[in-house]
Amino acid sequence: MGVTYDYLQQHDRAVNHNVDALEIAQTINSKPLIMGIYKALSDVYFNKKEWYLAKDYLLLHGLVKDSIYNEESNRKISDLERSYELEQREREIELLKKETRIQQLQLKNNRYSILTIVFGAAILFSVAIFYYLKNQSSQKTRALLASKNQEITESIHYAQSVQDAILDRESIARSFPQSFIFYKPKDIVSGDFYWHSKLNGYDILATVDCTGHGVAGAFMTVIGNSLLNQIVVENHETNPAKILEQLDLKLRQTLRDKQVDISNHGMDIAICKIDKSDRMLTFAGARSNLYVIHDGTIEEIKGDRHTIGEVRNNEQKAFQQQSIAYHADDLFYLSSDGFADQFGENPNKKFMKKKFKALLTSIHQTPLENQGSLLEEALVDWQGDIEQTDDILVLGIKCN
């Protein structure tokens, strides 16, 4: 019915029917139905020209599709491995039986030595055949695993392209010509994301660090991006503290509706409202801070200690915000904790926040568009051959 209403240009009714169908599909945990409904919702919002929601549901469609494909691939690979192990055990048992028979013939009578040699030659031939077939089977298994891994990787790369479409780098560049974004996922897709919108003459800018990384973190970025769109773009809320309070409530409700363990899922976020006409920046944070450089001195503006989605004794969290009157040459930096938490090769310890602040201070006179490259060079020098610890996101702007 949702598709029919969409075809008849009755988009709101199409959305309602698809949402009802989605609740039923989630209740019975039918991933194929969920995938199809996400695609239908993406089409409806596309026809309504609500591009943010269209992109959100398209990514959800792609991720559920990947999940279904991965489950089927893992099942087939497990069946293949079990079949291979069973075949190997049967061949080993058969080989042991033949070896035992040879020993019995040798003990029974030396007159059968010639016959024993014949049997021995036959067994050696069988062993050679066994190992030849085993090698062939192993090669086929490795080839199949490599093929499946390639298909899964391609699917994740597709999810990456959809996630990149959600991350509107061009919107930030238009509003802040002097800016940079240093964005380095640990895996192909990331649990960190940045978000921007213009509303009522204000720029609303945020960096978000979701629990986890890779595909699990990417699911949370889709939810976070969608909720920020609802709160700011649809509900026209521009107060940073109130945005965080609503985001906290909506995230917990969303995870409860999807029967997700909310104790293991959350978001750390720094969010700013920038009024360029009055040169005023208002900041609020959930376990995330703002760095300000004024006249060569860096100051850390700290956010609240609780995170978005965190369960506390008091159901309703209150977030504080701070307003800063800025000057034309002031620099502002938002970041996840990935850079400061990165382990180095020599010495084997974290980069730490103190060193990160000193690094920002040392490069602040460099044009902002070049600072991202300097951060990457410093990270490579520190990291060496050590594996990347977490997703990394640093965003710098000048608000003139």
Residue 336 lies in a domain: yes
Domain range for residue 333? 167-398
**C-alpha to C-alpha distance for 195 and 167, rounded to whole angstroms:** 7
Residues 146 and 172 in one domain: no
Poorest-pLDDT segment among 131-135, 173-177, 279-283: 131-135
Residue 57 lies in a domain: no
Beta carbons of 395 and 194 less than 8 angstroms apart: yes
Residue 56 lies in a domain: no
**pLDDT cut 70: percent of the chain above it:** 74
At 327 the pLDDT is 95
In whole angstroms, how large is the CA radius of gyration of the chain?
Answer: 29
Q: What is the mean pLDDT of the chain?
A: 82
At 373 the pLDDT is 97
pLDDT tens figures, 205-227? 999 999 877 777 888 898 999 99
Residue 257 lies in a domain: yes
Residues 43 and 85 in one domain: no
Residues 309 and 375 in one domain: yes
User: Total structural domains in the chain?
Assistant: 3
Cis peptide before 347 (omega within 30 of 0): yes
Residues 241 and 324 in one domain: yes
What is the pLDDT confidence band of residue 56, given thresholds at 50, 70 and 90? confident
Reduced to 3 states, what is the DSSP secondary structure of residue 193? Answer: strand
- Distance set, CA 361 to CA 100, 127, 322 (Å): 78, 70, 22
Residue 319 lies in a domain: yes
Question: Of the ranges 110-114, 328-332, 344-348, which is most confident?
Answer: 328-332
Structure token pair of residue 292: 């300000």
Residues 145 and 81 in one domain: yes
pTM above 0.85, yes or no: no
Residues 105 and 228 in one domain: no
Residues 80 and 181 in one domain: no
Residue 195 predicted with pLDDT over 50? yes
Residues 155 and 171 in one domain: no
Residues 322 and 227 in one domain: yes
Which of 105, 127, 159 delimits the end of a domain?
Answer: 159
pLDDT tens figures, 134-191? 666 566 666 666 665 666 666 566 667 767 777 889 999 999 999 999 999 998 888 9
Residue 58 lies in a domain: no
Residue 29 lies in a domain: yes
Residues 193 and 323 in one domain: yes
Which of 159, 193, 219 delimits the end of a domain?
Answer: 159
The b/e string for 15-53 (b: 16+ C-beta within 10 A; e otherwise) is: bebbeebbeebbeeeeeebbbbbbbbbbbbbbebebebb
Residues 186 and 273 in one domain: yes
Residue 359's CATH number: 3.60.40.10
- In sequence order, the β-bridge partners of residue 269 are 208, 286
What is the pLDDT confidence band of residue 197, given thresholds at 50, 70 and 90? very high
At 123 the pLDDT is 47
Q: What is the DSSP string of 271-319?
A: EEEEETTTTEEEEEEES--EEEEETTEEEEE--BSS-BT---SSSS---
- In sequence order, the β-bridge partners of residue 211 are none
What is the pLDDT confidence band of residue 108, given thresholds at 50, 70 and 90? very low
Residue 22 lies in a domain: yes
Residues 234 and 206 in one domain: yes
What is the pLDDT confidence band of residue 242, given thresholds at 50, 70 and 90? very high
